[in-house]
Amino acid sequence: MKISARLRARAASLAALLLPLAAAQGQEAAAQPSEAIALVAQAYLQDQLASLPGQPSIAIDPPRADRLASCDAMSPFLPSGMKLRSRMTVGVRCNAPKPWTTYVQATVSVPGQYYVASRPIAAGQALTPADLAPRDGDLVALPPGAITDPQTVVGMTAAYRINAGQTVRGSSLRNAQSVLRGSNVRINARGTGFVVSSEGQALDNAAPGAMVQVRTAGGQVVSGIVRNAGLVEIQL
Who has greater pLDDT, 171 or 34? 34
pLDDT digits (tens, 9 = 90+) for 158-174: 989 999 999 999 888 88
Pairing of strands 184-191, 173-175: unpaired
Task: Please tell me the predicted confidence (pLDDT) of residue 170.
Answer: 86
Task: Please tell me the predicted confidence (pLDDT) of residue 209.
Answer: 79
| Count of other CB atoms within 10 angstroms of residue 221 | 10
Look over the chain and give the mean of its residue pLDDT values, rounded to a whole number: 85
Residue 129: is the preceding peptide bond cis (ω within 30°)?
A: no
Nearest to 168 by CA among 130, 223, 219: 130
Enumerate domains of the chain plus CATH numbers: 34-109 (no CATH), 111-175 (3.90.1210.10), 183-235 (2.30.30.760)
Q: Is 203 left (phi over 0), alpha (psi -120 to 50) or beta?
A: alpha
| 5 pLDDT above the threshold of 70 | no
Task: Please tell me the predicted confidence (pLDDT) of residue 66.
Answer: 86
Q: Given pLDDT bands bounded at 50, 70 and 90, which one contains residue 199?
A: very high
Look at 2-16, 106-120, 169-183 and tell me which has the smallest mean pLDDT. Answer: 2-16
| 113 pLDDT above the threshold of 80 | yes
Q: What is the 3-state secondary structure (H, E, C) of the chain?
A: CHHHHHHHHHHHHHHHHHHHHHHHHHHHHHECCHHHHHHHHHHHHHHHCCCCCCCCEEEECCCCCCCCECCCCEEEECCCCCCCCCEEEEEEEECCCCCEEEEEEEEEECEEEEEEECCCECCCCECCHHHEEEEEEEHHHCCCCECCCHHHHCCEEECCCECCCCECEHHHEEECCCECCCCEEEEEEEECCEEEEEEEEECCCECCCCEEEEEECCCCEEEEEEEECCEEEEEC
Q: Rounded distance, CA 214 to CA 210, Å?
A: 13
Look at 18-22, 91-95, 161-165, 218-222 and tell me which has the smallest mean pLDDT. Answer: 18-22
Who has greater pLDDT, 59 or 20? 59
| Count of other CB atoms within 10 angstroms of residue 136 | 9
Task: Please tell me the predicted confidence (pLDDT) of residue 9.
Answer: 52
Q: Is residue 188 a contact partner of residue 195, using CB atoms and an 8 Å limit?
A: yes
Listed in sequence order, the residues at least 6 apart from 121 whose beta carbon sits closer than 8 Å to its beta carbon are: 127, 131, 158, 161, 162
pLDDT digits (tens, 9 = 90+) for 121-146: 999 899 999 999 999 999 999 988 89
Average pLDDT over residues 52-67: 92
